[in-house]
Amino acid sequence: MDSRIKLIKGDITRLAVDAIVNAANPSLLGGGGVDGAIHRAAGPELKEYCKKCGGARHGEAKISPGFNLPAKYVIHAVGPIWRGGNHGEEETLRNAYLNSLKLAVKHGIKTIAFPNISTGVYGFPKEAAADIAIRTVKEFLQSHPEIEEVIFVTFDDENYRIYAEKLDLKDE
Ligand code: ADP
């Protein structure tokens, strides 16, 4: 496993990284779950900024400043809504990760933290989502030495266990 990939369990809004990724919805104007937490911690300026971003489609990502967050930027990625698996959900989830990483490189971001996109309200099965997240990040890092750290931030015990096993961190 690439030593630049890290796993933690906790609240992504507390991380002092270059960018945290938000599991946003297409409006980019805030919502529940991690999205709500990020907007609360960043302050009302984030919503004002996002109003000018024009939304994002499922699989796309847009960037904003972090405002009151310790992170410098927020990358707002819109994952797929799980509709049984035959609606391109896997490809859309991969694109949400990939487009976030591409935006990060474009903005000189070296440290980035991802939540478990689509595994909350959007209902994507957690195991499959973790496989896609890990594979997409690993592949991207192989051709991007400029990225120094990618942190998977799990919030619930189930996602933590799944990632710890897949990243082979069982003893930690
Ligand atoms: P989605 O609509 O993409 O499913 P959710 O916010 O509902 O987005 O859930 C995505 C993941 O974010 C879930 O695994 C949830 O447990 C997690 N989550 C919720 N709050 C936080 C937080 N403060 N920090 C990190 N992860 C969080």
Pick the catalytic residue from 2, 11, 35, 157.
35
Classified as helix, coil or strand, 40 is helix
Is the whole model's pTM more than 0.85, yes or no? yes
Block residue for tokens 């959900």: 89
Classified as helix, coil or strand, 74 is strand
Q: Which CATH number fits domain 5-166: 1.10.10.10, 3.90.1580.10, 3.40.220.10, 3.30.70.260?
A: 3.40.220.10
Query: Which atom of ligand 1 is found nearest the CA of 23?
Result: 3
Per-residue pLDDT of the chain (172 residues; tens, 9 = 90+): 789 999 999 999 999 999 999 999 999 999 999 999 999 999 999 999 999 999 999 999 999 999 999 999 999 999 999 999 999 999 999 999 999 999 999 999 999 999 999 999 999 999 999 999 999 999 999 999 999 999 999 999 999 999 999 998 754 4
Nearest of 156, 167, 90, 152 to residue 121 by alpha carbon: 156
Indicate whether residue 117 lines ligand 1 (CB < 6 A).
yes
Q: Chain centroid to CA 101: how far?
A: 9
Which tokens in the block code for residue 87? 């609606």
Domain layout of the chain by residue ranges = 5-166
